[in-house]
Structure 1
Amino acid sequence: MNGRASLTLRLTALFAAGSTAVLLGLGYLIGGTVEQHFVEQDVEVLSGRLDAARRILARAASEADLAAVPQQLDDALLGHPGLAVAVAAPDGQLLFATSGAGFPEALLARRGVADAAHPLVWRTPRDVPMRGISARVPTGIAGAAPVVVGVATDISHHERYMAGFRATLWSFVAAAALLTGVLGWLAVRRGLAPLQAMKRKAEGITAQRLHARLAVETVPVELADLAATLNDMLARLEESFRRLSDFASDLAHEFRTPISNLMTQTQVTLSRPRTPEEYREVLGSNVEEYERLSRMVADMLFIAKADEGRIVPTRERLRLAPLVGDLVEFHRLAAEEKGVVLAGEGDGAVDGDPLMIRRAIGNLLSNAIRHTPAGGRVAVAVRRPAPGTIAIDVVNTGETLAAEHLPRLFDRFYRADPARGGDGSHSGLGLAIVKSIAAAHGGSVAVASADGTTRFSLLLDAAEPEAPAADS
């Protein structure tokens, strides 16, 4: 059977093969049992005739009596058609045999006696089937060696009956095998009906109908796990398509502004002759837009690689106090321009990629400074919220964020308030990159906002303490 055969055909063939094997075994058992019954029946009759011959020979006390034994044996068979008897002397000479029985030498041989447990079957010269047994029987003559007596019966009737019985039996087995194959096909078709229903349901699922689910409660128990797994897969696909659609929409929206700016400014510049200084000013402005597009593309590529698990950070022991101190100093000028106080405190160590960790903390700092009003405060704090965990908190004062926005702040291009988008120099991917870096390091992110204070947390595994150096 080739690999593309239908499941219905495979199961039907297996069911038919199994049932046929059972029926064949049953047929052989029944046939063998009936045959054995006839053998036992014949042996019982033959054993009775052999006992009669044994009694007759026991009464033969002289040679004269022994000479009369054939006639007595012949008389004992009257009324028993199909029975035959033979007597052989110890030297193998045949003393008496029923006419036409054709007793074989193997039955009457002194060392080849066929007892009741092993009857011998042969065919006479007239092709009559016979079954016989033999035994060494002592005579009444003192000191005489036992003779070999064989008795046999015609089994023609048994053979004809068994031939008809076997023909009927095997015809029934063949018909039953065919019928069970048909019934098996019907049973398999009915049993696989839930799979057909699942197939029809799956055919209706498209990119626009990924919300559809298979009804787990209506399928058999054996298919429930499959249906649940397919539903889980559809849920993941639906979420991936939603995110992809949102990402494409957000991407088009974010690209539209710089591209529109470039196009408008270029068209206005080309509308009339300009001085070299004016062209230089326009080109400088265009470079800023190109840089913004370049940063956005680089950020999107980073996030795309992170989503595919292709971001594999290096692992180095990082002391966070000097790293945070460097970042605070780097962003201090931007904070002072806005009138924001910037501070850092705490220490700890993590095993991670220095550039990625620096980028994540820098993005949190940049985001906090951008959304902190003049006179506000931004602080970076390193703490241990639990054994084995390091939390890098970036806290800023300002407007409290509504609770419904918090779960989505790390989504791509999401802004709690579009009006807070700043000067347009930021791609809206900074917090999404922080989340991707945390995931690449086996960590997580969190955010909380209450009473005019917003806290972003980068949670990472704390570095294991370094083993003390061994004494030399």
Structure 2
Amino acid sequence: MIRRHSLTFRLTLLFALAATAVLLVLGFIVKASVEQHFQEQDMTLLEGKLELIRHALERVHSPDDLDTLVQQMDDALIGHHGLAVAVTGTDGRTLFATRDSPFPQALLQRVGKPDAGQPYVWDAPDGTPFRGIVGTLPSGITGTPPAVVAVATDISHHRHFMAAFLHSLWLVVLGGSIATGLLGWIVARRGLAPLREMGALAAQVSARSLDRRLPAEAVPVELAELARSLNDMLGRLEESFRRLSDFSSDLAHELRTPVSNLMTQTQVALSRTRTADEYREVLESNAEEFERLSRMVSDMLFLAKADNGLIVPARETFELADEVGALFDFYGAVADERHVVLRLQGRGRVTGDRLMLRRALGNLLSNALRHTPEGGRVDVKIDVTPDEMTRLAVENSGEPIPAEHLPRLFDRFYRADSSRHNSGEGAGLGLAITRSIIHAHGGEIRARAISHGNVFEFTLPAA
């Protein structure tokens, strides 16, 4: 099982690793700088001694002067402990050498090569470390080849200093890493405190407290967007929960009426012996209630499929105006009875399921006729928008719907006029079904009130 570490632990670890890496790089840079400084010091000393030996050799004008060279070199090297010098003639004879000169053959072989002036480090047989250089210097004797001069200095004290220095340096790096890790943990804990507070507030949210919101203004800028997103999510959950609660309540209320009617009529019919005609009347009344229940269940199943994206419309191209005309013929008798004028303007072709769209149109026309007063009119207008969308608007005369009801007109069981709740004019699912059909076809639907009536319009992609 993979162990999941906390965000505080990860931030602390990353902070400590980054700080350790920086301290290590700085440590290596300081180490290299100190070593370079010691090398430059040693090279200054060695080059100075080469220059001194050069002057001494220039004073040698005859083989007899070589005897005084040793004394001059001894006098020049007094007080320079740890310095080794060897002067060799071209014939291999040693002209001068300090006691126990530790020059290796690898250094002497550099004579005449490009790297002869570069420092060379080695350990003497006794373990003493040296840094030295080799070169050729001319003497004052005319016609004599230059002498080979090797100069080296003991660097034991340098190495001892570097060992102690590196020991202290790595202790500082280790201590700095631990300190930065501890400080990183403190900083991470304090930095993530707003996130923990948001988590505590979110944990308090329940079905009864969906109105709680996170304080987006009181959190750091980096978390403000997260707080706003969570608040938006809570708002959507609150709205969905409210609608679900309203829907459950409305559904129970809608089902209670026909079930209560069926129970009452059945109990009355069974209270005493009745004639066949009386039983037939009861059964006919019950059949009407069963039909109402069946329509409601069918509509609810349709909406449930729509909510889960299970509605797959058939695809055929047809003229909307033809479908509206056919519905005018169907509702013509109702319109004539109430002296309502039906008018159609424009044309527009769409691609979709003809039966489903006819059902949506029928719901809009039925709703418009139901809320149009006698002597009014219902206008259906079809046109194509500049963005290649077919728009259909159903406008009816009458009292405008109040603005507070418009956003919820397409909710299930919602009625703007509460007096019609038990009027038997439907279960209040027609507009909800219409919206589901339009959305399944990739369109949009909305309602708006005008000065002399109301308009329900939807748009679909034009064929």
Contact 1:382 1:390 in 2 (8 A): no
Contact 1:364 1:456 in 2 (8 A): no
Tell me the equivalent position of 1:350. Answer: 349
- Residues 10-409 of structure 1 aligned to structure 2 (within 5 Å): 10-66=10-66, 68-90=68-90, 94-109=94-109, 110-111=111-112, 115-116=116-117, 118-336=118-336, 338-353=337-352, 354-373=354-373, 375-384=374-383, 387=386, 388=388, 390-398=390-398, 401-409=401-409
Contact 1:73 1:85 in 2 (8 A): no
Structure 1 residue 134 displacement after superposition:
1.2
Higher mean C-alpha deviation, range 397-406 or range 24-33:
397-406
TM-score, L = length of structure 2: 0.90
Residues in 1 aligned to 2:261 and 2:91: alpha-carbon distance in whole angstroms: 130
Residues in 2 aligned to 1:341 and 1:25: alpha-carbon distance in whole angstroms: 90
TM-score, L = length of structure 1: 0.88
- The one-letter amino acid of 2:35's match is E
Structure 1 residue 91 displacement after superposition:
5.6
Contact 2:319 2:350 in 1 (8 A): no
Tell me the equivalent position of 2:443. Answer: 442
Tell me the equivalent position of 1:459. Answer: 458
Contact 2:318 2:351 in 1 (8 A): yes
Structure 1 residue 296 displacement after superposition:
1.4
What secondary structure does 2:144 align onto? coil
Q: Percent identity?
A: 54
Structure 1 residue 261 displacement after superposition:
1.5
- The one-letter amino acid of 1:226's match is L
Residues in 2 aligned to 1:383 and 1:208: alpha-carbon distance in whole angstroms: 46
Contact 2:320 2:350 in 1 (8 A): no
Structure 1 residue 203 displacement after superposition:
0.9
Unaligned runs of 5+ in 2: none
> For the structure 1 residues 456 and 435, does the alpha-carbon distance in structure 2 shift closer, same or farther, using more than 3 Å as the test?
farther
> For the structure 1 residues 32 and 396, does the alpha-carbon distance in structure 2 shift closer, same or farther, using more than 3 Å as the test?
closer
Count of aligned pairs: 459
- The one-letter amino acid of 1:294's match is S
Residues in 1 aligned to 2:282 and 2:301: alpha-carbon distance in whole angstroms: 29
> Could you report, residue by residue, the CA deviation over 1:396-454 in whole angstroms, capped at 9, with x for unpaired residues?
45555445444433332122333334752511111222233333332322232545xx3
> For the structure 1 residues 65 and 56, does the alpha-carbon distance in structure 2 shift closer, same or farther, using more than 3 Å as the test?
same
Structure 1 residue 275 displacement after superposition:
4.7
Contact 2:369 2:378 in 1 (8 A): no
Structure 1 residue 163 displacement after superposition:
1.4
- The one-letter amino acid of 2:251's match is L
Structure 1 residue 42 displacement after superposition:
1.2
Contact 1:372 1:397 in 2 (8 A): yes
Contact 2:378 2:397 in 1 (8 A): no
Residues in 1 aligned to 2:58 and 2:219: alpha-carbon distance in whole angstroms: 82
> Could you report, residue by residue, the CA deviation over 1:105-155 in whole angstroms, capped at 9, with x for unpaired residues?
122223467655x21112222222211111111222322222210111111
RMSD over equivalenced CA pairs, Å: 2.7
Structure 1 residue 277 displacement after superposition:
4.5
> Could you report, residue by residue, the CA deviation over 1:296-340 in whole angstroms, capped at 9, with x for unpaired residues?
12222333343444444444333233211110111223445x444
> For the structure 1 residues 2 and 57, does the alpha-carbon distance in structure 2 shift closer, same or farther, using more than 3 Å as the test?
farther
> For the structure 1 residues 111 and 264, does the alpha-carbon distance in structure 2 shift closer, same or farther, using more than 3 Å as the test?
farther
> For the structure 1 residues 172 and 394, does the alpha-carbon distance in structure 2 shift closer, same or farther, using more than 3 Å as the test?
closer
Contact 2:84 2:102 in 1 (8 A): no
Structure 1 residue 34 displacement after superposition:
1.4
Unaligned runs of 5+ in 1: 465-472
Residues in 1 aligned to 2:422 and 2:54: alpha-carbon distance in whole angstroms: 126
Structure 1 residue 263 displacement after superposition:
2.1
Residues in 2 aligned to 1:443 and 1:428: alpha-carbon distance in whole angstroms: 20
Contact 1:100 1:124 in 2 (8 A): no
